[in-house]
Amino acid sequence: MAIKTYRARSISAALAQIKADLGPDAVILHTRTHRVGGVFGIGAQTITEITATADMRLARAAAPPHPRPTQSTRPPAVPARPNSAAAARALAQKHAAARAAAQIPKGVAQDVAQMVLPKAPPQATSSGGTVAQVIEHKPVQQPAPQTEQFAAEIASLKKMVAHVLHAQRGAPGAIGPEALERLYLDLIERDVAAELADQVVARLKTELTTEQQQDAEVVRTAARKHVASFIPVGDATPPPWRPAKGDKPFTLALIGPTGVGKTTTVAKLAATYKLQHGLRVGLITCDTYRIAAVEQLKTYANIIDVPIEVASTPDDVQAALKKLQGVDVVLIDTAGRSQRAADRLAETRMLLDAAAPDQTHLVLASSAEKGVLMQAAERFGALAPTHIIFTKLDEAVSLGVLLNVAQRINAKLSFVTTGQEVPDHIEPGDAQRLATLVLEGELVA
């Protein structure tokens, strides 16, 4: 699917043609208006020009790159031991380079900026809007998939680096019995931060007897408890009382990067609160940037029979809350933002300030790459989320990074989602459940 540019006499006419041609999931890349025809400007017509695509990979490739913060690939400094420091550095650097090569195939830019939709220009009149021209662009070549052999080599390098790092931190032979060593290597292979893996092993050495440390089942059962202790959990169920007339409803706002499933999660929460808890639910959508986003949530609202309001400014949010004062709980769906776009994050902050929600839930996709997840957690952490929702557990390759994210921000786990079905495939946050997923390395029933 190529990138296309549409020209029409009004923005509504151009958007209608985009939706008919590319479908409701089309992404706007660029908009502009200009005047054509006339004599010395007299009698000229205003033309709206919109560039769009239905392929998110093309959208990312077409977006201008953002400056990438300089990061060293050298692992954190650790106390050196004779004859091992140089080997540790060499292995760690080799491991980092291999990971980069595995995640970004040759020929694909390493700093593809995440798509941020531009603000829509002021609405023009919709009379006489016709598409005058469609300009085709060459599609971007798709990267080749990673081979199983290369993945196995990466896993082997992880094991080697884990041995060296742990040996540098402790005494020779240092991890302990085979069961503890296997646990430690599993945690590292599943992208759990080395300092967290160290803490788990250290606790088990203190808690378990020498005999118990040699029993793999005992070690993993005890480890599950300690891994769970790193995951704070918070209840996101609205209070059992109904607000008095004129009082503000219990309000939850969902924020997060683009493509993490916020709108689908809002629909799942709305169905859960109404059907399982018997609460009156209202929806507010602030996602006026993505084509058909409002229509998508309106469709869900109609199916579960709940009112919905559209708000694009802080004043709109306050007006929408007043209209929904008769409900018990209000769910606010904000537009997805790139963690690198400070101005867009500032807009989201203004919407949150206007809504003054009782809870703000940061939604992150567990299927995202480790570095992206950690950066999103850090940047969105500035908006002071009270809770965190992990989506797409069914698509995740490695779940250990979720443990790192939970430790990075001061927010409690509220929900996880395990599929796309509404109202199913959503679970309340459970530290033991997530700890099991981390240790198993995949989604289990």
C-alpha span between 191 and 148 (Å, rounded):
18
| HEC readout, 25-40 | CCEEEEEEEEEECCEC
- State mean pLDDT over 266-270: 93
- State mean pLDDT over 356-368: 92
Is the pLDDT confidence value at 435 over 80?
yes
Contact 257, 376 (CB under 8 A): yes
Is the pLDDT confidence value at 422 over 60?
yes
C-alpha span between 282 and 117 (Å, rounded):
26
Tens-place pLDDT, residues 222-239: 999 999 998 889 877 777
C-alpha span between 372 and 364 (Å, rounded):
10
Tens-place pLDDT, residues 59-88: 666 655 554 444 444 444 444 444 444 554
33 vs 315: which has the higher pLDDT: 315
Is the pLDDT confidence value at 348 over 60?
yes
pTM to 2 decimal places: 0.60
**Which amino acid belongs to residue 407?**
Q
What's the start-to-end Cα distance of the chain, in Å?
37
Tens-place pLDDT, residues 103-158: 433 333 333 233 333 334 444 433 333 333 343 444 444 444 455 566 556 655 65
Which domains, from first to last, does the chain contain? 4-63+112-136 (no CATH), 147-228 (no CATH), 250-440 (3.40.50.300)
88 vs 25: which has the higher pLDDT: 25
